[in-house]
């Protein structure tokens, strides 16, 4: 019976060692994925901030000038 217990203990120790190695590998893969994800997010946020920056919009200023000119035509001086 003690031989059975010793054999079982050895099996369990081997299982624990294998699971420990697997856990370490999984943690490393997670770190690698998080680092890659952080790098992707940094690229995306840089791209988004470039998209957010306003560009010079000349169409609005041209429209406001034509509106001003039209308003001056509507004024009647008595």
Task: State residue 42's pLDDT score.
Answer: 81
Ranges under pLDDT 50 in the chain: none
Other Cβ atoms closer than 10 A to 27: 10
Task: State residue 1's pLDDT score.
Answer: 79
User: What global pTM score does this model have?
Assistant: 0.49
Task: State residue 31's pLDDT score.
Answer: 96
Cα–Cα distance for residue pair 30/7, rounded to 1 Å: 35
């Amino acid at each position: 019976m003690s031989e059975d217990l010793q054999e079982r203990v050895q099996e369990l120790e081997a299982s624990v060692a294998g699971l420990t190695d697997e856990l370490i590998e999984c943690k490393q893969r997670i770190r690698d994925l998080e680092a890659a994800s952080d790098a992707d997010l940094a690229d995306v946020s840089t791209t988004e901030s470039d998209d957010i920056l306003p560009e010079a919009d000349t169409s609005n200023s041209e429209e406001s000038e034509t509106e001003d000119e039209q308003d001056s035509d509507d004024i009647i001086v008595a």
